[in-house]
Chains A and B, each alone.
Chain A
């Protein structure tokens, strides 16, 4: 563990009030700029003195980035909207309850009051070797300390590891992918809209980044289409401490059942790989079948195909199988939302 020194290294602080000003600053400072949303991830890095940006751009004053707006039957959520605001929003609760459940599963009430939806989906990996400041692959080095014969890797990836075995720790990300959300990204050249499942990238594409955001890019909003409004949702998060913790794994599914059979389904797990995994093979296999334990069992087995556990995270294989099973077949204790 890194020694928290509490006093952050010096940096130049900017607090723009508009998106245009923010983009101008991002363009001006490029790779030297650090974008701070709620600050929960940022302050860890800065106080540990592991990241030492020259410039910090604090988005807290940019009111354009806040709030939930209804849009074509769906929603547009500003990237700086707090997790608490997302959790409590009546339309989110009524039509897209999987997102409120996922967002509410993140951290503690205090952290959700400060943490933002944009920050939650863009947060960095929690691998303690990486966060401890070791020059691993993700930090630009040539080794993964978590994937060595003696590594402590209980929370790490069982799927799609490519040199780095860190996982994505977001709780809202799988819910957003299940809802077919889109991420609105702006930079000095304009705006682009990226599907939520393409927003997250694994180490095989870029070992130093968790998302498609590059220097100069700003996530401004998340759009949720009406496609899955009112569907059957399931979200479950397994963590060491129930009061507040990062996920050992979580699962989110959105399902439309017609005539007793699954007509449409999207199912996503997170903390199994470096990016949230949409399980398209499972979706294809269970479509047209009844959402029961047998179908769930089948889906669970398909989900774990190719899993390669490390020394201490073998438990994640049955965990993922069972979470997927429950997300499809449901459980008595957890009712459909």
Chain B
């Protein structure tokens, strides 16, 4: 029982055609297992970090509500979320038994996601602090410290976060890889179906290249099942609700900012 299915093409070559669809369940179960393990970890095992005192003169300069996400960034997030959910539903629901004409909805949602990603890349490159979402040296050092302390070992206290916590940055990195793999391959796969945008041409690439593209699309797709489950789980966790609300209203409270973020690494603005 492999993770990739192969077929023989008209030239007698064995080529990959797509992933094995049991991976849908593997991903869903992996996502669920993570949620359960993380909940148990947080509730019963992880050592709580001590509350950190604010420096009074720093606190005085922090607005009551600290801007975390611009309107454009929030709109991008929710458009992307809607497109991503539509893509997962249209891709996998028919595979698990609820059949409907999914292809058109799937590529329309894919185009919306692609447009949103292109917008985000441009917006993040020129209007946002581009590097703020990528893990840096401090994040890696502090990540190590947090892990050691959470597992009961001795390590110096980690510094407060910059704009984004380490787990946010890591999640973003993984979703970038999975999302780009799915969208880039998906755009090419539109050459295989009838759309108003492209003339169908299944001979654009060799059977092997197409096969690898289908496999990559499938792996990214099933990977996104677990990733989205984890994302929604964290969005709903009580201690993360402030961040979730900031994705709706754009701001976080001053107290949260001072408790979790380092003003030297992320300057608070209104």
Interface segment among B57-65, B78-86, B135-143, B200-208: the answer is B200-208
| Interface: A205 (CB within 8 A) | yes
Interchain CB contact under 8 A, A163 and B103: yes
Is A287 on the interface with B (CB-CB < 8 A)?
no
Cβ–Cβ < 8 Å partners of B104 in chain A: 204
A interface, by DSSP: helix, strand, loop or mixed?
loop
Q: Which of B7, B203, B214 contacts A135 (CB 8 A)?
A: B7
What residues of chain B lie closer than 8 Å to A205, measured between beta carbons? 99-101
Q: What's the Cα separation between A147 and B103 when bound, in Å?
A: 17
In the assembled complex, how far is the CB of residue B10 from the closest CB belonging to chain A, in whole angstroms? 7
Interface size class of chain B, counting residues whose CB lies under 8 Å from the partner chain: 20 to 34
Tell me if B160 is interfacial: C-beta within 8 Å of chain A.
no
Q: How far is the CB of A226 from chain B (nearest CB, A)?
A: 33
Chain A 149-162: CB-based contact to B (< 8 A → 1; otherwise 0):
10000000000011
Q: When the two chains form their complex, are residues A142 and B211 in contact, meaning their CB atoms are under 8 A apart?
A: yes
Chain B residues 1-18 with CB under 8 Å of chain A are 5, 7-10, 17-18
Q: How far is the CA of A144 from the CA of B201 in the complex (A)?
A: 11
- Residues A161 and B103 in contact, CB atoms below 8 Å apart: no
CA of A163 to CA of B9 in the docked complex: distance in angstroms? 17
B18 touches A142 (CB 8 A): yes
Residues in A with CB closer than 8 Å to B203 are 148-149
For A148, the chain B residues whose CB sits under 8 A away are 202-203
Q: Chain B 131-163 against A: per-residue CB contact (8 Å), 1 yes, 0 no?
A: 000000000000000000000000000000000
CB of B237 closer than 8 Å to a CB of A: no
Q: Provide a sorted-by-A list of 19 A–B residue pairs whose CB atoms are within 8 angstroms.
A: A135-B8, A141-B17, A142-B17, A142-B192, A142-B214, A143-B207, A143-B210, A147-B202, A148-B202, A148-B203, A149-B201, A149-B203, A162-B103, A162-B193, A162-B194, A202-B101, A204-B101, A204-B104, A206-B99
Q: Tell me the smallest distance from the CB of B84 to a CB of chain A, in Å.
A: 22
A44 CB–B CB distance under 8 Å: no
A117 to chain B, nearest CB (A): 26
Known contacts A142-B211, A147-B200; is-contact A204 B103 (Cβ 8 Å): yes
Complex Cα spacing A219 to B131, Å: 62
Please report the number of residue pairs spanning A and B whose Cβ atoms sit closer than 8 angstroms: 46
Say whether A145 contacts B103, CB under 8 Å: no
Q: How many A residues touch B, CB cutoff 8 Å?
A: 19
- Per-position binary interface string of chain A over residues 104-143, scored 1 when its CB falls under 8 Å from any chain B CB and 0 otherwise: 0000000000000000000000000000001100001111
Q: How far is the CA of A143 from the CA of B103 in the complex (A)?
A: 14
Query: B210's contact among A135, A142, A308, by CB below 8 Å, is which?
Result: A142
Chain A contacts for B99, CB-based, 8 A? 205-206
CB pair A163 B101 closer than 8 Å: no
CB atoms of A163 and B192 under 8 A apart: yes
Q: Determine how close the nearest CB of chain B comes to the CB of A138; give it in whole angstroms.
A: 13
Separation in Å of the B24 CB from the closest CB of chain A? 16
What chain A residues lie within 8 Å of B100 (beta carbons)?
205
Nearest CB in chain A: distance from B236 CB, A: 34
Residues of B within 8 Å of A141, CB to CB, are 7, 17
Write the A296-309 contact mask toward B (1 if CB under 8 angstroms, else 0). 00000000000010
Cβ–Cβ < 8 Å partners of A135 in chain B: 7-9, 17
Q: Give chain A nearest CB distance to B177 CB in angstroms.
A: 23
* Minimal beta-carbon separation of B127 from chain A (angstroms): 39
Scan B1-39; emit 1 where CB is below 8 A from any A CB, else 0: 000010111100000011000000000000000000000
Encoded as 1 (CB less than 8 Å from any A CB) or 0, chain B from 169 to 213 comes to: 000000000000000000000001110000011110001001100
A: which residues have CB within 8 A of B? 134-135, 140-145, 147-149, 161-163, 202, 204-206, 308
> Chain B residue with minimal CB distance to A204?
B101
How far does the alpha carbon of A134 sit from the alpha carbon of B194 in the complex, in Å? Answer: 21
Residue of A nearest to B94 (CB): A206
Chain B residues closer than 8 Å to A142, beta-carbon distance? 17-18, 192, 210-211, 214
Q: Once the chains bind, are A162 and B101 in contact (CB under 8 Å)?
A: yes
Hey, which chain A residues are within 8 Å of B103, CB to CB? Answer: 162-163, 204
Give which listed residue, B5, B10, B193, contacts A163 with CB less than 8 A: B193
CA distance A149 to B191 in the complex (A): 12
* A141-B10 Cα distance, complex, nearest whole Å: 13
User: What is the CA–CA distance of A147 and B203 in the complex, to the nearest angstrom?
Assistant: 11
Chain A contacts of B194 at CB under 8 A?
161-162, 308
Q: Which 4 A-B pairs have the closest CB atoms?
A: A135-B7, A204-B101, A142-B17, A141-B17
Query: How far apart are the CA atoms of A202 and B100 in the complex, in Å?
Result: 10
Partner of B10 from the list A134, A140, A144, A308 (CB cut-off 8 Å) is: A134
CA distance A109 to B101 in the complex (A): 39
Bound: A143/B191 CA distance, A? 11
Bound CA span A204–B101, Å: 5
- Rounded to whole Å, the gap between the CB of B6 and the closest CB of chain A is 9
Q: Max chain B CB contacts within 10 Å: which of A135, A140, A308?
A: A135
- Map CB proximity to A onto B83-106 as digits: 1 under 8 Å, 0 otherwise: 000000000001000011111100
In the complex, what distance in Å separates the CA atom of A148 from the CA atom of B202? 6
Q: Of all chain B residues, which has the CB nearest A144?
A: B202
Please give, as numbers and ranges, the residues of chain A lying within 8 Å of B10 by CB-CB distance: 134, 145
When C-beta atoms are compared, the residue in chain A nearest to B21 turns out to be: A140
Q: Which residue of A lies closest to B10 (CB)?
A: A134
How far apart are B96's CB and chain A's nearest CB, in angstroms?
Answer: 13
Residues of A within 8 A of B94 (CB): 206
Set of chain B residues within 8 Å of A143, measured between Cβ atoms = 192, 202, 207, 210
Taking CB atoms, residues of chain B closer than 8 Å to A140 are 5, 17
For B102, the closest partner residue in chain A by CB is A204
